[in-house]
Amino acid sequence: MKLPELKIGDLTAKVPIIQGGMGIGISLNRLAGTVAAQGGIGILSTAQIGYQEEKFERASVRTNLQTIKKQLDKARSFAKGGILGFNVMVASFRYDDVVRATVEAGADVIISGAGLPMNLPELVGNAKTKIAPIVSSVKAAKIILRNWAKKYNRTADFVVIEGPKAGGHLGFKASEIDQAIIGMDDEIVKIIAHVKEYEEKFNTTIPVIFAGGVWDRSDIEHYLDLGCSGVQMATRFIGTQECDAPDDFKDRFLKATEDDIHLTTSPVGLPGRAIDNKFTETITAGVDAYKAQPAPKTPIIPIAKCLNCLQHKLCDRKTIPYCISEALLNSVEHNTDMGLIFSGSNGYRINEITTVKAIFDELTA
C-alpha cells in the first residue's frame, strides 16, 4: 500500500513521518530541513540550541532564545516549503519563554514532553502553530486533554505517543519498561479511543502519532493498522549525512551492538536509554555506591558550570548525579567517551551512513 498523507489542521505532510527532536545538537537545521523537503515533518530540538554560538558560554539562556529563529530560518532554506517545528521540553529552564520564541520564529508545529505541557495552549495563543503533547499512557492523555478543554476550550492539534523503546528520557519508571513493551499496543488503542472523544467534542480531527522503536516500513504499517495516523522516527536519522551531529558521534552508533544499549540514570528522575561508554560506566558505579551507603551531597561527576538547562525546582546541583547538559554537550563536542549518547532501542542497527532521501525512498517504496 501507499503510505497516506498526514494532515494536521491545514498542514499536510506527504509522508506520515515526523523526525523526532534530538538534543543537544543532533537535530538542528540541516536534518530537520532535509526531512521536511522529503515530505515528512522536520523537528529541531530547542535543548541548548545555541551551544555553537560565540556568546553561549557567557549567556546561555539569552543565546538559546536568540538562536531559535536563526536555526529555523536555516532549516527553511533546506525544506523546500516543507513543515518544520520544535521539540520543547516542559522541564526546560524558562519553558514559557522558549515556547513563545518558537512561535514568534514561525514554527509550524510544537511537540512538548518531558513533563505535562499544561499551559501550552496559553503560550501559543491564536498563532497558527500546531501543538502536540507527548504522552506515554492514556492516563497522561486524559489529564492533558481534559485540562486543555476545561481551561482553554481547545484541544490538541495532534498527539504523540512515546513508547518504551524510544531513545533519551522515557515516560516510564525503569521497573515498568519490560511490562510497558508488552502492553504498548493495547495502550495505543486506548489512547486513540480517548482522543476520539475530543475529536467529537471539538468537531475536529486529531492525528495520533507513535514514537519509539520505529525503524522500517513494517513498523510503520503496524502502527497505522492500530489506528495511528503516522509515526515519529528519531534514532534512524542519526545515521545520515544530513544529521547535525559530528562524525565521531555517529561513529559510536556504527560500532554499537545490541548489548551496548541500556537504560541509564538521569538527573531529571527518569530513565534514559543510551549507548554504553566510560560515562555510563561511571554513572552506574556511582549510583551503586549511593545505594550501598548514604548518598553524599555532591554529584558523581563534578559540575563545572550551570548552563540553566532545567527548571531549578527539578535540578539541585548538590544532589544530582551529573549535569545532563555537560554530558550531552560532551557527546557533540568530540568527547564521546564522557558524553551521554542517547539512542533508541534499535540504534545498533545503524551500520552505514546514508542519506535522508535514501531512508525516505526505502520507507515509501
Does 96 reside within a domain? yes
State pLDDT tens for residues 341-355: 999 999 999 999 999
Would you state the pLDDT for residue 18? 98
Q: Is 288 helix (H, G, I), strand (E, B) or coil?
A: helix
Q: Tell whether 228 and 360 lie within a shared domain.
A: yes
Count the Cβ atoms, other than its own, within 10 Å of residue 62: 13
Q: Tell whether 143 and 51 lie within a shared domain.
A: yes
The residue type of 211 is A
**Selection from 30, 12, 11 nearest residue 22 by Cα:** 30
Q: Give the torsion sign (CA, 119, 124, 126, 131).
A: negative
Q: Tell whether 186 and 290 lie within a shared domain.
A: no
Q: Tell whether 281 and 140 lie within a shared domain.
A: no
Q: Tell whether 295 and 185 lie within a shared domain.
A: no
Question: What is the C-alpha to C-alpha distance for residues 340 and 145, in angstroms, rounded to an integer?
Answer: 33
**Stretch 188-198: mean pLDDT, rounded?**
98
Q: Give the chain's domain count.
A: 2
Q: What is the share, in percent, of the chain residues with pLDDT greater than 70?
A: 95
Q: Tell whether 131 and 155 lie within a shared domain.
A: yes
Q: Give the torsion sign (CA, 182, 185, 191, 193).
A: negative
Q: Tell whether 199 and 258 lie within a shared domain.
A: no
State pLDDT tens for residues 62-119: 999 999 999 999 999 999 999 999 999 998 888 999 999 999 999 999 999 988 999 9
Question: What is the C-alpha to C-alpha distance for residues 165 and 184, in angstroms, rounded to an integer?
Answer: 10
* Residue range of the domain that includes 327: 248-348
Count the Cβ atoms, other than its own, within 10 Å of residue 147: 17
**Stretch 279-297: mean pLDDT, rounded?**
69
Cell numbers 549567556 correspond to what residue? 59
User: For position 183, which CATH number holds?
Assistant: 3.20.20.70
The residue type of 232 is Q
Q: Tell whether 304 and 230 lie within a shared domain.
A: no
Does 35 reside within a domain? yes
Q: Tell whether 118 and 77 lie within a shared domain.
A: yes
State pLDDT tens for residues 199-223: 999 999 999 999 999 999 999 999 9
Does 1 reside within a domain? no
State pLDDT tens for residues 314-324: 667 777 888 88
Does 335 reside within a domain? yes
pTM of the shown model: 0.94
Cell numbers 545490541 correspond to what residue? 258
Contacts of 104 (CB under 8 A, 6+ apart): 69
Q: Tell whether 63 and 188 lie within a shared domain.
A: yes
Does 305 reside within a domain? yes
Q: Tell whether 274 and 238 lie within a shared domain.
A: no
Contacts of 331 (CB under 8 A, 6+ apart): 24, 249, 339, 340, 341
Q: Bridge partners of 162? A: 211
Q: Bridge partners of 363? A: none
Q: Tell whether 273 and 212 lie within a shared domain.
A: no
**Selection from 334, 344, 181, 351 nearest residue 245 by Cα:** 334
Question: What is the C-alpha to C-alpha distance for residues 144 and 133, in angstroms, rounded to an integer?
Answer: 8
State phi, psi for 50 to the nearest 5 degrees. Answer: -100, 20
Three-class HEC string of 52-73: CCCCCCCCHHHHHHHHHHHHHH
Would you state the pLDDT for residue 267? 80
